[in-house]
Amino acid sequence: MRAPKELGLRQRMVLFFSLAALIAALSLSIVTYASTRSYLLEQRTRVAQRQAFNNAQLMRSLITNADADIAELITQIRTEQNGFAVLQQQQTAERDELFFAQSPLKFSQSDLPQELVAGTQNGVTGHQRFSFVDKPYEAVGVVIPSIGVVYYEVFPISDVAETLRTILVTLVIGVVLITAGAGVLGFTMSQNVLRPLRRVAKAANEIATGGLDTRLSHEEDADLEKLVFSFNEMADAVQTRIEREQRFASDVSHELRSPVTALTAAIEVLVSRRDEFTDRNQQAIDIIKKQVERFDRTVLDLLELSRLDAGAVTQEIERVQINDLVLRIMTRYGFGEIPLHSEISSSDGELASDDEVVLDRRRIERIVVNLLENARDHASGATRITLAINNGVLTLGVHDVGPGVAVSERTHIFDRFARGTASRNSKGSGLGLAIVREHVKAMNGTVHVEDSPEGGSSFIVTFPISGVS
């Protein structure tokens, strides 16, 4: 089972704000509910005790001053709505213990909480909350020793329970709303916090894609100003180093061009008089000739890369017939025997004559030649070239049946001086594919390598075109 990905900064900020608000709101709600519940129940108990004591005094007066039956007297007691009264006549030598309920059909002495009854039997006035018919009540027991009775009155507290339930629902809704509001606030705050980071990321991306002059503007915030200053200092250092390395590569390439030209001329003289040397010397001349040619190609490729890095190669957009252009490039550089399979064709299958597109002719030439030379040097030559246009995007493919490129090397094969495992001992400067990538990038396109249906590799170039006539 894979572990979940770590949350981003924005998600962590939203989560932090939400959790902090949830904990604060929940704590406040618990304290509010507990204190409100305690206060309401305490107030209810005071009211119940006051009324019970008043009614107990009334019962004492009625029993003392009247000869009426107690069962009849207790019916004169007024209790709260849905309340009940019970009078216990304690046992003496002259009488037995008797209970008189105000509403015996609804509530009798057996429904009283036993703990309260036991306490009043010991002469202790008290109160107790209990449930009757699934509703909350509070019972108060008042001992009247002067007439030997205990007066019980039961008060409903459903209104208090309903009030507490309403408060609880309100608090829960409040907690949810506060948590959601804190999440929205955290998201909004994260926008402000991440805005400078997005600016830094955008500037870093511009620098990475060649905009070495990109810098961050100054901030009024002192903390952010430190970040801006450090980033700009880093960008200055990176620009200075890259430009120094580019100048060095360009200078070295230019300096090497003259001796390489001289070496080439000298080796041509030796080759022209090759028959005058012994077989061993002829082999040496052949080796020197190949190495000088490789050296010359490397210098030329370095010069081209230095111009691309410096932005010295400008776009020259023009309208060309892509089928004809690719065929002429292949013929000019000795690859005329390789078949061209173009989907840009007429109804009879022949190459279309109206295949005009708008692009940079020179860059297309460099891309096609370098890919064909790469196939020649590392895969015994290309087997075919394909062309297609779909939705304003031109796709050019160079296919071979060579050893292929390992999946782990396909990303780095376009780096400078990179060589695949299968072509370690092949000739070439190791810069051809890097030049292809730079030209494709300049045309806002992409290049990648994949497995060929024929068993080798397919180098696929795609880039947008301005239009097809």
CATH of residue 276's domain is 1.10.287.130
The residue to which tokens 């292929």 are assigned: 404
Does residue 149 share a domain with residue 26?
Answer: yes
Residue length, the chain?
469
Does residue 238 share a domain with residue 158?
Answer: no
Averaged pLDDT of the chain: 81
Domain with residue 367: its CATH number is 3.30.565.10
C-alpha closest to that of 87 among 114, 51, 60: 60
State mean pLDDT over 21-46: 91
Does residue 24 share a domain with residue 133?
Answer: yes
Return the pLDDT at 344: 78
Residue 234's SS3 state is: helix
State mean pLDDT over 455-467: 83
Does residue 153 share a domain with residue 48?
Answer: yes
In a domain, 195, yes or no: no
Domain that holds residue 291: 222-309
State yes or no: pLDDT of 152 exceeds 80. yes
Give dist(CA 330, CA 368) in Å, integer: 8
Give dist(CA 84, CA 130) in Å, integer: 14
Does residue 115 share a domain with residue 27?
Answer: yes
In a domain, 194, yes or no: no
Contacts with 189 (C-beta within 8 Å, 6 or more apart), sequence order: 13, 17
In a domain, 206, yes or no: no
Give dist(CA 328, CA 106) in Å, integer: 110
Return the pLDDT at 94: 65
- Integer CA distances (angstroms), 31 to 18, 25, 41, 56, 176, in order: 20, 10, 15, 37, 17
Give dist(CA 173, CA 168) in Å, integer: 9
Does residue 152 share a domain with residue 71?
Answer: yes
State yes or no: pLDDT of 237 exceeds 80. yes
Give dist(CA 295, CA 305) in Å, integer: 15
In a domain, 168, yes or no: no
Return the pLDDT at 397: 92
Residue ending a domain, among 163, 179, 211, is 163
Dump the DSSP string for 184-232: HHHHHHHHHHHHHHHHHHHHHHHHHTT-TT--PPP-SSHHHHHHHHHHH
Does residue 238 share a domain with residue 104?
Answer: no
Question: What's at 326, amino acid-wise?
Answer: V
Residue ending a domain, among 290, 309, 328, is 309
Does residue 272 share a domain with residue 131?
Answer: no
Lowest mean pLDDT segment, chosen from 30-34, 71-75, 317-321: 71-75
Give dist(CA 444, CA 280) in Å, integer: 51
Give dist(CA 142, CA 144) in Å, integer: 6
**Residue 34: both structure tokens together:** 């507990």
Does residue 386 share a domain with residue 355?
Answer: yes
Does residue 98 share a domain with residue 45?
Answer: yes
The residue to which tokens 């090759």 are assigned: 274
Structural domain count, the chain: 3
Residue ending a domain, among 280, 309, 338, is 309
Return the pLDDT at 70: 73
In a domain, 201, yes or no: no
Return the pLDDT at 346: 47
State yes or no: pLDDT of 239 exceeds 50. yes
Between CA 366 and CA 443, with CA 402 as vertex, the angle to 5 degrees is 25
Return the pLDDT at 460: 93
